[in-house]
């Protein structure tokens, strides 16, 4: 799908597009959880982060097994930038915690960032490949950040292309023919273990 994307437009917008990502593939869920922002603090913290780092546009995606920051910035995403980024993200973190976050972050830039986002929204990068919830989560994350005044034209065009690509994948491939979720997989495993149907669980 990326090959069908307008390359003239692609080259004009992607030089500023970068992603700082934390996913289940490289991080413990507890580490990902430490990057979650409560709803009532979302606007204040993201606005502070955007202004402090002089980021042109910012979108924050947080799910149960990933946290990703979509940025429009001319800044070089190096270790020094990441340390400043995480100090602004959570002023209560120690230098050690900021350094650990900087080391654990996956960085994507330009076309690689776009390809990564396409894979995320299409569930190819999900813990359970083929789950449909992620496309809604991506759209909702963008809409929240747009309403908070954190995004602009670059992220608008990128999210539009991402949603269209994900829909194309779900429609024209068999990726979601047998929709599953983490819950359904757990249920199947419990059945395999012959757990009684009336057993009670505390989670």
End-to-end CA distance of the chain: 41
Give the sheet arrangement for strand 57-63, strand by strand. 57-63, 66-72, 17-23, 106-109
Rounded CA separation 176/188 (Å)? 18
Q: Is 64 a catalytic residue?
A: yes
Q: List, in order, residues 6 or more apart from 66 with CB less than 8 Å away.
A: 21, 22, 23, 24, 32, 120
Q: Which runs of E-coded beta strand occur in the chain?
A: 17-23, 57-63, 66-72, 106-109
Q: Tell me if residue 69 falls in helix, strand or coil.
A: strand
Say how far apart CA 32 and CA 81 lie, in whole Å: 20
Going by DSSP bridges, is the β-strand pair 106-109/66-72 parallel, antiparallel, or unpaired?
unpaired
Which one of the listed residues 43, 59, 64, 98 is annotated catalytic?
64
The residues that are catalytic are 64
């Amino acid at each position: 799908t990326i090959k069908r994307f307008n390359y003239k437009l692609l080259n004009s917008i992607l030089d500023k597009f970068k992603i700082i990502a934390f996913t289940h593939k490289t991080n413990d869920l507890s580490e990902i959880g430490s990057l979650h922002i409560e709803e009532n603090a979302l606007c204040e913290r993201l606005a502070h982060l955007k202004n402090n780092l002089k980021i042109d546009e910012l979108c924050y995606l947080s799910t149960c097994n990933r946290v990703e920051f979509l940025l429009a910035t001319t800044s070089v995403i190096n270790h020094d930038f990441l340390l400043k980024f995480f100090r602004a993200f959570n002023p209560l973190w120690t230098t050690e915690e900021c350094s650990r976050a900087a080391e654990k972050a996956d960085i994507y830039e330009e076309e690689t960032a776009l390809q990564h986002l396409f894979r995320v929204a299409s569930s190819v990068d999900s813990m359970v490949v083929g789950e449909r919830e992620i496309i809604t989560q991506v759209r909702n994350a963008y809409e929240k950040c747009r309403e908070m005044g954190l995004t602009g034209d670059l992220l608008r065009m990128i999210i539009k292309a991402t949603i269209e690509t994900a829909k194309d994948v779900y429609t024209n491939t068999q990726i979601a023919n047998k929709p599953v979720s983490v819950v359904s997989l757990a249920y199947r495993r419990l059945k395999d273990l012959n757990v009684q149907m009336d057993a009670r669980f505390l989670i």
